[in-house]
Amino acid sequence: MPKTQLFTHMVEQNTSRLSDILKAASDPTRRAILTLLAQEGAMRVTDLADHYEMSLNSVSKHIKVLEKAGLVSRKTIGRVHLIEVDMEPVQEIDRWFNQLRSIWDMRLEALDNLMTKEPDND
């Protein structure tokens, strides 16, 4: 069934990506970094480290996790290396939620049909 294949494909493809995104954002420090980048725009790693009074090494580790999830990317302007936030994975979360919503909608519709269109077996 094409619809069945489509569903399974969509689910499998999105799962590992979503796990990366949700794991990346499950840490309060990384959430703070994301929020700061969203508010302030692209920043240098050293500025991020200063802002949170963290070592460059620990900030770099957090950035790597965010980068793997696609939530931040690196760009270079001249000789300055900047980290910037990326909106795209957020849309992935939206899509995932819309999909989840439509599945529950469908189940409630099926329950409705079951309750109202079939004879009561009780």
- Judged by CB under 8 A, the residue of 76, 79, 115, 119 near other proteins is 115
Q: Binding-site residue total for other proteins (CB under 8 A)?
A: 47
- Judged by CB under 8 A, the residue of 3, 53, 57, 78 near other proteins is 3
Q: What span, in angstroms and rounded, lies between the C-alpha atoms of 20 and 53? A: 26
Rounded CA Rg of the chain: 21
- Residues 45 to 104 in contact with other proteins, rule: CB under 8 A: 85, 87, 90, 93-94, 97, 100-101, 103-104
Pick from 91, 104, 84, 101: nearest CA to 21: 91
Beta bridge partners of 15: none
Q: How far is the CA of 14 from the CAs of 24, 31, 58, in angstroms?
A: 15, 21, 29
- Give the interface with other proteins as residue ranges (CB under 8 A): 1, 3-5, 7-8, 11-12, 15, 18-19, 22-23, 25-26, 28, 31-32, 34-35, 38-39, 41, 85, 87, 90, 93-94, 97, 100-101, 103-116, 120, 122
